[in-house]
Structure formats: structure tokens, C-alpha cells
Structure 1
């Protein structure tokens, strides 16, 4: 569906050239929800704008739905963009137009008949859950409702691809979840390919099939979301994964325990998929002459299964503890010794 080959984008500034995207290769499958995550300045916003040629690449090829976007004429590009919808962090709505008129705007540009336009607008209002708000103006809507208008407008021309540029960053957590649920619903109903960029791992965890991590204009890690959660390789990725797998007070709690004499082994156990629901701790205590106390724990749900992270303090004979650790690993649960005495 989407293929980027050696895509680069360099901006010329007063202080010299700045490379925002540095020779990126990326493939997104049809019907996939693909996430791109990175901190500010990583190049992710530039990358997503390259996909519909809002930014022109300095080099490389971009193929969307079988079309090489870099070789199209201006007329061909305008037509190709009708197959690529886009929603934004701050909605970008026309404030002097009603909900219906905002959604209808792309259809006006396309030259759709009045009857067909009206029918399509009502279909989209129902799809995004804005029944009864068609005559409202953006100033009369909540943040979540404004983003629903943005989504409906982006879908007006029946695009094959939906680009989401930090689409939930301006929303509160509850509203964010409702918008993410809507995107999943649209993905299923319309078989729509969705690419979203974000700095929030919660967004990736909740709806994405695969994720790419960007840093300094490059893709530093990529893979299925559950695999990335299970074994993040880059330090940047590990930071993002910790956003949703570890309670904020974990490090503080463990650091406090370090001050106490007699602390045993502090272990981090990582459970993936069905393993997250097992009663492993009870099993280990029954098998080995050790004591286990739970320090912190959290289970997160990705689209492809559960991911659990549990911090425990284990006391007992060192050799017995080591036997228990070996047993836990044999159960296909990752174990990392955080601290021991």
C-alpha cells in the first residue's frame, strides 16, 4: 500500500542545512494501523507530510496506492491527494462553517453534486457519532467533537489512506480513548490504511498493529507492537515502553528498598500474551523454598495480546533463588535481575 525508499528531507536555514528525515525506508501494508513514535524534533511530522507531498522530498521515492508521488504532475497530485485523508492535532476546521459545511468542503472542491454531497455528509456524521450536531459551529463543540468533524472531513472523498498528525495530543485521556476507538472502528468498517504519528506510547499500544520509532530523522526500531513491547532494543524504545508498562513510582519504590539491609533479589518479570494471566508466582513459591513479595506491577493490553511487567522482591538461599529464576525463564517469562545482595 505505502512504500518509502531512501526518503530524505533537508531544510535550508540561516544556520545551515537541517536534515529532518534521513534516508528512511518504510513499508505499510493495506488495512494496517501503523504508528510512528518519537519525541519532538525526531522528524515524524515531516515524514507524514511527505506522504501526501505537503513537503517535497529532497531525495527518494514515495509510493502510495500504486502511485509514485514524487513523479506526478500537479494535476495528477491533486487527484492522488483525494485518496489520502489527513487529520491534525489542532483540528484545522473552518470556524465560519457548520459541521456539515466543514465535512462537505472537500466534496465541493471535487465538484460533487448537491444531492450526492448531502447524502455523503449525513453518512459521515452518523459514522463519527455526531448525529444532531450538523448545524453546530466548531466553537460550540468539545475537543473530541471537533476531532470527529476532522475525521469525517478527511473521509469525505473515500480515501484509501488516513494520516493522523498527533491527532489526540490536544485531548484529555478519556476523549483520546474515544477517538482511538473510532479510528479502530473506521479501520475495520472501511478497510482503511491508517498511519499515525505520536509521542504517546498509550496511543501505539491501544490501536496499532506495527510501530516505528524515530530519532534524529531515522527509523531506529520497527516491528509488531507486541514484539517491540516484549523486547525493545534501543534506549529510546525502552523509554517509550516504560510509559505504559511501569507505574511512575516503580524506580522510587525500588530505590527506597535499596537502603534497607537484608533486601533480596529484586526481579523484573515480563509476561507476554496469555502468560500475563498465569498464576506463576504461586507456582514458584510452592516449588521453591523462597519468599516473594510484589513491589509493583502493571498489565497493558495491545491489539495482539497482553503485556505484563511485575517487580518482585525474592528472599531465600542464593542457590535456590537462582534455581527459581531458571525455572521462571523455562516458563517463557523474561527475567531481569534489577538488584541483589
Structure 2
């Protein structure tokens, strides 16, 4: 669907050249929700603005649905942009227009007849959950409702791709979740390809199929969301995963736990998919002469399945503990033993 090769963007200033995007390659499949995450200055917002040529690239190519975007004329680009919707962090609504009029705006520009336009607007208002609010003005709406208007407007011309630039970062956590659920629903109903920029791993975890981690204008890590959660390779990725799994001081915590339990072993189990729902600890206690004390645990859900971690203390004869840990490994649960966790 989207193929990006050697993409770069240099901003020239009076004092220096700033490389915002640096020789970036990516492939985004049709119908997937593809997340791009990075801290401030990573180049992610520039990257998404390059996709619809709100910024012109300094080099490289962007191919969307077999159309080379970076080489289009202004007229060709206007037509191509009708197949690319975009939603923004701060909504970008027209404050003097009602909800209906905001959603209808791109249809007016496209020259759609009034009767057909009204029918399409009504469909979109229902789709995004704003039935009964069509005559309201943006100042009368909550932040989540404003973003729903922005989403409806971005879908007006039936785009093939929806670009989301920090679409939930101005919203509270509960509203964020409702907007993310809406995007998942739209993706499923319309088969829409969604490219989502964020600095929050919770957003990636909740709705994305795959994720690219950006740093210094480059993609430093990429893969299925569940795989990235399980085995983050880069330091920046591990920091993002810790946002969700909630233990940035894991190594220090485990060392303290090890000191508190000098006898036996402290281990961390990593569960994936169906194993997160199985009674592994009670099974270990029945099969082996070991006492198992659960110290800490957490399960999180991704689009590709559940991922859980459990820190336990096992006490008993070393041979029996080793047998118990080997049994756990054979169940496809990953095991890390302190102090090497």
C-alpha cells in the first residue's frame, strides 16, 4: 500500500541545516494500523507531513497505492490528497461552522452536489457517534467530540489512508481510549489504512498492528507490536515499553528483591497469548517440591494478543528449582533469572 525508500528531509536555516528525516525506509501494508513512535525531535511529525506532501521531501520516494506522491504536480497532488485523510492534535476545526458544515467542507471543495453532500455528512455523523450534534458549534463540544468531528471530516472523501498526527495527546486518558476504540472500529468497518504518530506507548499497545520507533530522523526498530513489547532491542524502545509495563527501575527493583530473598531463586516469567490465562504457578507447585511466592505481575493487551510478566521467588532444593524452571520454559514461557533479568 505505502512504500517509502530513502526518504529524507533537511530544513535549511540561517545558521545550519537540520536533518529531520534521514534516509528512511518503510513498508505499510493495506488495511493495517501502523504506529510511529518517538520522543520530541525524533522526526515523526515531519515524516507524516511528508506522506501527504504538506512538506516536500529533500530526497527519496513515497509510493501510495502505486502512485509516486513525491513527483506529483500541484494539480495531481490535490486529487491524490482526496484519498488521504488527516487528523490533528488540536482538531483544526472551523469555529464559525457547525459540526455538519465542518464535515461538509471538503465535500464542498470537491464539488459534491448538496443533496448527496447532506447524505454523506449524516452517514459520517452516525459513524463517529455524534448523532444529534450536527447543528452544534465547536465551542459547544468537548475535546473528544471535537476530535470525532475531525475524524468524520477526514473521512468525507472516502480516503484510502488516514494519517493521525498526535491525534489523542490533547485528550484525557478516558477520552483517548474512546477515540482509539473509534479508530479501531473505522479500520475494521472501512478497511482503512491508518498511519498514527504518537509519543505514547499506550496508544501503540492498544490499537496498532505494527510499530516503527524513530530516533534522530531514522527508524531504529520496527516490527509487530507484540514482538516489540516482548523483545525490545534499542534503549529508546525499552523506555517506551516501560511506559506501559510500568517499571523503569526494574533492574534495581530486582536486585533489591534478590537481596531480600537470598535463598532460592528470583525469576521473571514472560507470558504470551493463551499462556497468560493458564494456571502455571499452581501447576508448578503441584509438580515440584518448591514454594512459589508471587512478588509482582502485570498483563497488557495488544492487537496481536496478550503479554504478561510475573516476578516470582522460588524456594527449595536447587535441583528441584532448576527442574521447575526448565518445566516453565518448556511451556513456551520465557524465563529470566535474577541477577540477569
TM-score exceeds 0.5: yes
The answer for the alignment partner of 2:107 in structure 1 is 107
3-state DSSP class of the match of 1:188? Answer: helix
The answer for the alignment partner of 1:310 in structure 2 is 310
The answer for the alignment partner of 1:221 in structure 2 is 221
Whole-Å Cα distance in 1 between the matches of residues 261 and 212 of structure 2? 43
3-state DSSP class of the match of 1:339? Answer: coil
Report deviation, 1:243: 1.9
1:192 aligns with 2:184: no
3-state DSSP class of the match of 2:260? Answer: coil
Correspondence list, 1:51-200, <5 A: 51-200=51-200
Report deviation, 1:252: 7.2
Whole-Å Cα distance in 1 between the matches of residues 266 and 15 of structure 2? 49
Decide whether the 8 Å contact of 1:265 with 1:337 is kept in 2: yes
The answer for the alignment partner of 1:285 in structure 2 is 285
Report deviation, 1:281: 1.1
3-state DSSP class of the match of 2:112? Answer: coil
The answer for the alignment partner of 1:28 in structure 2 is 28
3-state DSSP class of the match of 1:105? Answer: helix
Report deviation, 1:204: 1.1
Report deviation, 1:292: 1.6
The answer for the alignment partner of 1:324 in structure 2 is 324
Whole-Å Cα distance in 2 between the matches of residues 188 and 202 of structure 1? 20
Whole-Å Cα distance in 1 between the matches of residues 263 and 107 of structure 2? 67
Whole-Å Cα distance in 1 between the matches of residues 192 and 67 of structure 2? 17
Decide whether the 8 Å contact of 1:257 with 1:263 is kept in 2: no
Report deviation, 1:31: 0.8
CA deviations over 1:220-253 (Å, ceiling 9, x no partner): 1111111212222222222222222245786675
Decide whether the 8 Å contact of 1:36 with 1:212 is kept in 2: yes
Change (3 A) 1:263 1:20: farther
Change (3 A) 1:52 1:153: same
Decide whether the 8 Å contact of 1:290 with 1:315 is kept in 2: yes
Change (3 A) 1:251 1:139: farther
Decide whether the 8 Å contact of 2:257 with 2:266 is kept in 1: no
The answer for the alignment partner of 2:43 in structure 1 is 43
Q: TM-score, normalised by structure 2?
A: 0.95
3-state DSSP class of the match of 2:232? Answer: coil
Whole-Å Cα distance in 1 between the matches of residues 313 and 260 of structure 2? 12
Change (3 A) 1:264 1:243: farther
Whole-Å Cα distance in 2 between the matches of residues 207 and 116 of structure 1? 33
- For structure 2, the 5+ residue unaligned runs are none
Decide whether the 8 Å contact of 2:255 with 2:338 is kept in 1: no
Report deviation, 1:83: 0.4
Whole-Å Cα distance in 1 between the matches of residues 41 and 215 of structure 2? 8
Report deviation, 1:255: 5.4
Whole-Å Cα distance in 1 between the matches of residues 244 and 180 of structure 2? 16
CA deviations over 1:271-290 (Å, ceiling 9, x no partner): 00111111111111222222
Change (3 A) 1:310 1:150: same
CA deviations over 1:105-141 (Å, ceiling 9, x no partner): 1111111111111111111101101011111111110
- For structure 1, the 5+ residue unaligned runs are none
